[in-house]
Chain A
Amino acid sequence: MMNRMIKGVIGAAALGAMAFTASLAQADALDNIKAAGVLKVGVKADYKPYGFLDSSGAIIGLEPDLAQDVADRLGVKVEFVPVVSSNRMQFLEQGKIDLMIATMTDRPDRREVVLIPDPNYYSSGTNVLARKEFGLMTWEDLRGKPVCGIQGAFYNKKTGQEFGADIVAFKGTAEAYAALQQGNCVAFVYDDSALVAKLNEPEFAEYEMPLPTIDDAPWGLAVQKGETAFAEFMSQTVTDWHKTGKILELETKWGVANTPFAKAMHDKYK
């Protein structure tokens, strides 16, 4: 028996060794990208209109368009890698993607892990969609009530901790909207721009967005930590996007009302 246990320990150690991964020494990212001729960009594939699939399976949207622009400036081809909130920073750290433009809110703890060049390229706020008859007045009214959210969204935490709501997190928006309609939760906490669009649908005529938008937080694109030259290049690119009004133009192209943030940045850098 003892013998068997010792073998067990050795076996476990061997497994651990198998799992061990060597880290790779990294040359300058810009040179690598140009040498490879491909810019690998992590984008969302389930977040309309910022990154979603067309019926052929290709990823399209506002952020893929921005990524395409970056690749054009570098004179390379673009390759989209679909990411989700829970793996986007790991992919960047591993070097699986060179650049991440994936609806990521710019927060200090994220800046510790990845390099987010300034200025920010976009911004969104948090709001809730609730049934009119519920008579929601303030965020505090959500205390102790079930509120639907999306897995991996940072505002779940805030709504849960600060306002005391019980967050029920779903995989996708369709599941969350269905849960809201079936009465599994009193409200759905999500990006304000998406919720405004939803209110126009006849199905949601009985719903409202009664609360003030909170957490109007900027979005950051990111490169690997330590890639200062690439970050510098991205800073110039984002500045240029604001200057030329590319963000406003893309918002119109993808059917989003021009956001105050994009307008303000355009005015600032004009």
Chain B
Amino acid sequence: MLLSLEDATVRFDGRAVLDGVGLDVAEHEIVCVLGPSGSGKSTLLRAVAGLQPLSHGRVLLDGRDQAGVPAHKRGVGLMFQDHQLFPQRDVAGNVAFGARMHGASKGEQADRVGELLDLVGLPGAARRAVASLSGGEQQRVALARALAPRPRLLMLDEPLGQLDRSLRERLVVELRELFGRLGTTVLAVTHDQGEAFALADRVVVMRDGRIAQSGTPLEVWQRPVDEFVARFLGFDNVVEGTVAGEAADTPWGKLPVGEGAAQGTRTLLVRPAGVRLVAADAGLRCTVAARTFRGTHVAVHLQPEDAPRLEAACALRDAPEVGDAVGVEFDAAEIVLLG
């Protein structure tokens, strides 16, 4: 393993910000840590970088314990959330910084700067002032700067956090391609699930300093491990129910859960796509409370008579109006038993 965290714990004033985290990252792997703000993601990166000492546990790089190794000797790269480019240096001065610290000659530095600026798509920007760069350009320069010393592990803290949506979507594709081509090992943290799923080979969801779930993007998306992960991924149709046989008894009525489901009191997730709208006199009777246009579909918020709200995904032309009465039926394939 290139990076191993063993029982990594960081306490601030007695509160565990990172709580017994174990995590392995293999060479050439892209791992994305996903979690809401305050879940300990950034602390995780800082602990690996050597900027934050552990209260307990170990960080190993290439199997070697990093306790006592200062940040500048760990040979890992970190791209900061708001880039932290050195304002008094130009683009080349920023990109060459790492190489210079490692004693590269002027010529080597210049070659490396040219090479990396080409790589991140900013050829000829070497002499530009940092302040004159747009957000996207700053992000590219920060990436070039982090890559320049050839770190064995590249860490990204909210790499695309402050950019606008279209730029973010384009850059995430570019990043994935670039890391694949270079074979870079990457540990990134983000609060944006779209970014994590698009970038990562493996996603790690964090909650309150602990790892809630780890798996490929598809696994995490399809089978969220608990209510927290499900809600964090944007699923709100979560409900308690009693599973007996192939059906669960819930406030929304009997929900089909398929064969071999674990029995007893369980938490169920119904994906919006699994909420089918039918005629008002069939299924669960609901009133349309709101509808929001989502581009590819319409999210319809339904209020049953005495049960929590439900969200359904509909094609635009099928979507009912606010105030309409509709019936709801459920699709077993889109129902997940959590935890």
Chains A and B bind each other? no
Which A residues fall within an 8 A CB radius of B?
none
Which residues of chain B have a CB within 8 Å of any CB of chain A?
none
